[in-house]
Structure 1
């Protein structure tokens, strides 16, 4: 249990020390008359002593009662913890606590430094109000000009900082608790169809790019996954491909191989026989290098050099020009793969797993319009399937034959619906 101390007077004093001029029977300390007189002292849940000063003894006693009660209920907060600034807590506590790879850490830190620290960095965590949190979110668009999904992404980082602060008992509630996050806007993708992909493959000016385009359309790999694909990851017998690394670029480090961002990114893809034959034929024409930076890679530049993202982007733009089609990006070949799966009737969960998305919501958000189109095709298929039945039923009625579904075996309302 805590106790109250009198800052202005000594609890132990020598007999020869003079009596306090204001308070009879007491001996003044050096801080007599300076600041608040009464000090509340108690131990926090870890056993560390916490102190605070108050004008009256009653206030100090009430503070101890409040803090002891909070300890009992598990709602105790360190009164001084919330004084840490947003920038300090983000750098010292939140960022190290994230289970992310190095490139993602650079991305998170860059977003905070550009959009959050200038506005909130100097503020104490406990001082930021919900109204200020909401106003900051609006600045992402009005001041910084962010668009698409980026305002939501940046806001998600900052909201995560405050969420961890609540968990760590730095603050009692996040200022974003009742504030809606920026809408997650994503423009509908319009991937190339099979005919266009075939045009691109035909127009490719190098065997390397023709094969990369075809393979990407057949597997939906990300650019880094495609450029970092090793021959050893292809199981020709089982017709599968293990996706477990990517080739990335980072300023100051150059190109290097890195693990995938999420556990869901690591996946084993089923390959068609045509895909297996495509890879085998390419390897026969272009043996995989055994030495150098590109050792073991399926696709390399001359002298086993690693292929940069800008290199294949430029190559695809040139190929699009040669094929006389609209400019495309490599990621649109990944969208093509997803669109083929969806059109073929694959459910969202399977599409998510094939693409290596973190969750099915990401898949649905990106390809919602394609699933809607697939639903419409389902209706067309059902209409076409029952068209012959309706036609035969109509002919039977006109000729007086009993070509009906017996009412005793089916609900009359269902029968009427099937007849259209």
Structure 2
């Protein structure tokens, strides 16, 4: 009976696994992220030998005893082959490691170099806004640039966001804004959503979607993958999204405000795996330098430092030059078993803001719900 990998639907994962698993008695099943969460987080038996999971879910799964620890001594180059930021989120409170990074973020500022380096665009922007068209240093400059490039009548929007309420990118976007403005989701064990940074964050998104309207309204139904594909198709001038969506022709820079979101996908072993040793052997094979390069060249993002330095990998995407630096200024969601419920609260806040235009009302509701969860 073949081994089974269960993970998220993404063309890069599908292409990578198809190449990596050829000649092996292994099958892979990739489903959308909400279905994956249902089957892994909310169902006792995901029926798989290896899981491909977002790091957000790990604290809850580890606390519930749903994952087995990885024998990291069998992983080639461990630990130094991986940046510290790609080792910490899968570590349990017992000090053991419950996953090996397979696909890396982090979020970066991605932009179309054909637009940003165009002399006419630069001159026009300088004349209107009084400063040079360069990578934005803060969110005010980000908004200026989104407004400048916003030309929906020509099929070009200033930016693109993943607005679909899948407890994924909308939550990350909110936290990135909140952190960059000096706020936090939890302060002193209670909700931090009654703060000035939280109000500024809601005002920013309300402006982005409903006043300046620099995002295609259809993006309210786009997830991170589709929003990345829309950017790749030239439908937006720039965006803050996962590094892996950058093509060799795009520019990459740190997120305005410097702090970026760190979340990544790991290979893990479910506690009910029929043969954990076979699961471990498969992860060991998929974590080799050769396989990591295949992941990168298939449309995923390499996670090993030796891959980041590989000339073939570097030439495939511009972000490999800045990954190490970006990870030094990265943060992640709270390492708390209650995170899936926290994410649901922030997700509903963003859904209300984007779909219902109830920004400040949704913020107050989220603040009250988060306090009830935390106390």
- Shorter chain as denominator, the TM-score bin is under 0.3
Which is helix-richer, 1 or 2?
1
Which is strand-richer, 1 or 2?
2
TM-score (norm 2): 0.25
Higher RCO, 1 or 2 (CA under 8 Å, sep at least 6)? 2
Which one has a bigger Cα radius of gyration?
Answer: 1
TM-score (norm 1): 0.23
